[in-house]
Amino acid sequence: MKILFSFLSLFSCASIWSQSTTNQPASFYGLGESAAQNHGIFDALGKNTINIFDSTVLNFYNPATYNTMSKGNTLYSFGIQSRLSQYGEQGNSQVDFAGMLDHIALGMRIKKNMGLAFGLRPYAAKGYQIIDKTFTGFDSIQYTYKGTGAIQNLFAGYSYGIVYRPKTKLSIGANASYLFGTVCNERQSQLVASGSTQGGLNKQSIILRSFHYELGAYFQQQIGKNHTISLSGVFTPNQKYTGHYQDEFYTATNINTSSTYDTLAFSHSPINILQSSSLQLGFNYSLLLPKMKRQTRELHPRLNIMASYSQFGATSHNALDLIPDFGLNSFQRMSFGAQYCPETKMLENVSTLKGLEKISYRVGYYTQTLPYSKNGIQYEESALTFGLGLPILAQMSASSVNFGICLGNRTSNQSTGLQEQFISFNIGLILAPSNFDKWFRQRKLD
């Protein structure tokens, strides 16, 4: 029943995710704004994703990590993200807010060295609205430019430990995905006059239905009792996505009522989206700090320091005559993060811990270029990140609530270009069965 409930949750959320989930004007290009890496845990660590290893975290960004989850602790992960942005360009400014469900996923370790996960998360989204008015000499015309829709990623992943010893681990994994959804750029014109609703509408849509896959790996080596080094990587090969491009042009006596539309032109053509290969490399150093004596307890703190480099491929298509303004450039990201846990033996010592000793503290920084460009110069983004992980220990389980905050900006490095200052707030909820209610536990009779 729990697996059935999870599947039903995935498809019920798909309709919600089909709405606009970003407020970035640059999502006009291509398939829209990439919606990955907006998780409460990974965002708080400077968008380090593929190099996070924790038995209480479902890391679907690196499929090789599924076997790091503790046996019997099936993890149900759910995320919410929000972003408040202030845009400025040539003396004009605007404040926008966007919020969305980030992901819903279920993962479990099925054998000593094998793990399995499936879920639904965003792949890309459009979400912007720009309004401009022009006086023609007799009347004023209002132009509205809007982007809507999203591409979803329905995935299933598997990991296998080639080497799975207490101090040495080498694992590989893969995610197989089905990408589906519709993204749309819309141009609308309306006569500005008292009581007038006449106007015209041009709607350009990309309807995507295609498969996608990515490969992951990690190597972990414990050195002595207190030091562990982990290396990780995720590779996405060149891929071709199949879909359709739809161009609609209408005139209307009432631009707000679709039943009044009169079709001037309509076309529906197959299209192939070409995605170049991407490579992500990560490093994680874990240090068990000296034990900390307290009056009634002993703490076992741990510090993790991590860094990663990502090279994402360009996106193009095979229909330049239909969509001239599409191209998305390749772009890079550098991420740095640190996490401090005052107590690593949480469940064993929960009864003696104080409130602040149960929290995981996270901080990070990232800088990256973006696939969008103006006059041949790519936009850039950088941000400071912070976060907390709060365990839910009421039933002695691996459940937790995780908060992530990003304070950053986007710029084109041109005084006349679009500037964005933003703050994003993300919440990740991880639910696991209690120690008294292990899911999928194999029972034996004596």
Give the C-alpha separation, 68 to 62, whole Å.
11
Listed residue (260, 114, 133) closest to 173, CA to CA:
114
User: What mean pLDDT is predicted for residues 170-187?
Assistant: 95
pLDDT in tens, 423-437: 999 999 998 876 555
pLDDT on residue 137 = 59
pLDDT on residue 1 = 42
- Strand blocks (E) in 46-91: 75-89
DSSP string, 334-358: EEEEEEEES-S-HHHHGGG--GGGG
Listed residue (36, 2, 11, 59) closest to 282, CA to CA:
59
User: Hey, what domains does the chain have and what are their CATH numbers?
Assistant: 2-431 (2.40.160)
pLDDT on residue 26 = 75
DSSP string, 193-254: STT---EEEEEEEEEEEEEEEEEEEEEEEEETTTEEEEEEEEEE--EEEEEEEEEEEEEESS
Contacts of 258 by beta carbon, 8 Å cutoff, 6+ apart: none
pLDDT in tens, 126-177: 888 888 777 665 667 888 888 888 899 999 999 999 999 989 999 999 999 9
pTM confidence score: 0.86
Q: How far is CA 17 from the centre of its chain?
A: 12
Containing H/E element for 41?
helix 40-44
Evaluated on CA atoms 212, 171, 66, 310, the torsion sign reads negative
93 burial level (CB within 10 Å; 0-12, 13-18, 19+): exposed
pLDDT on residue 205 = 92
SS3 content of the chain, % helix, strand, coil (to 5): 10, 60, 30
Using the 8-state DSSP alphabet, how is residue 6 labeled? H
DSSP string, 373-408: EETTEEEEEEEEEEEEEEE-TTTTSS-EEEEEEEEE
Is pLDDT above 60 for 3? no
Q: What's the token pair of residue 290? A: 């000296």
User: Taking phi first (over 0 means left), then psi (-120 to 50 degrees means alpha), and beta for anything else, what does residue 328 get?
Assistant: beta
